[in-house]
Structure 1
Amino acid sequence: MSVYRFKSRETGDLVMLQQHGQRMLEILGKSTSGPGIIQPAEMTGAIQAIRAAVEADDAARQRQKTEEGQDDDDTPTDTVSLRMRAAPFIEMLQRCEKAGVEIVWGV
């Protein structure tokens, strides 16, 4: 099983399964076909893009629950939301932006 390993000098490595790492990169408009970099100047926009995708995912999940006649109090779904998967990546972006260091992957 392949993984993405996001690295920076400010944080520990962030490891995501391939499908989840690719989704993050697609949200950011980054190529998934090889190594890449997120520069500190890009990080505010990256955080905003991920948060917008999280909000859209949350809304879609809520619509699906409503259509299926479920309440929030029902048994939780067995899938992990984008909100939960994105949280460590957003934290990494915030810390790296503050420190002025890039995030790389595939190197």
Structure 2
Amino acid sequence: MLITFKSQSSSEVTMYQEHAQRILDVLNKNHTRGVITAAEAAQAVALLEQEIALSKLHPEVDAEHASHSHPHHLPEVDETAEMAEKNHIGFAQRAFPLLEMLRAARDANDNIVWGV
């Protein structure tokens, strides 16, 4: 399932629900639909930046989250651990578009909505 985040201050950001779920959990927001108000945006940026920093400090935890979001992925016979590591998309990379949207919303005093 896809979640599309919308704000007047930036382009839409669309993410798979399983990737957006961790971000929304950090922000204590509903996965189905919700709003991050302009008043909440600064705190949301700080929380998300903190979670990104933690994921970079502990890449093994980041990889654990990634493996749970794709339980159906079975490695190819010739796939090596090095290739898997190289192809891993971490939390920081997945969160970046929404973090940029949050910063723009904070600076423009706009809300972000999804699921409406």
Fold shared per TM-score above 0.5: yes
1:29-82 alpha-carbon deviations (Å, 9 max, x no partner): 1122x3100001111111111111111111111689xxxxxxxxx765321011
Distance change in 2, residues 1:9/1:63 (3 Å): closer
Aligned to 2:109: 100
Distance 1:37 1:63 in 2: 28
Aligned-pair Cα RMSD in Å: 1.9
Aligned to 1:14: 13
Instruction: Kindly indicate whether the alpha-carbon contact (under 8 Å) linking 2:55 and 2:91 is maintained by their aligned counterparts in 1.
Output: yes
Code of the aligned partner of 1:78: N
1:10-89 aligned within 5 A: 10-32=9-31, 34-61=32-59, 76-89=85-98
Distance change in 2, residues 1:59/1:4 (3 Å): same
Please report how far the alpha carbon of residue 25 of structure 1 lies from its aligned counterpart in structure 2 after TM superposition.
0.5
Code of the aligned partner of 1:55: A
| Structure 2 unpaired stretches of 5+ | 63-81
| Structure 1 unpaired stretches of 5+ | 65-73
- Count of aligned pairs between the two proteins: 96
Distance change in 2, residues 1:81/1:13 (3 Å): same
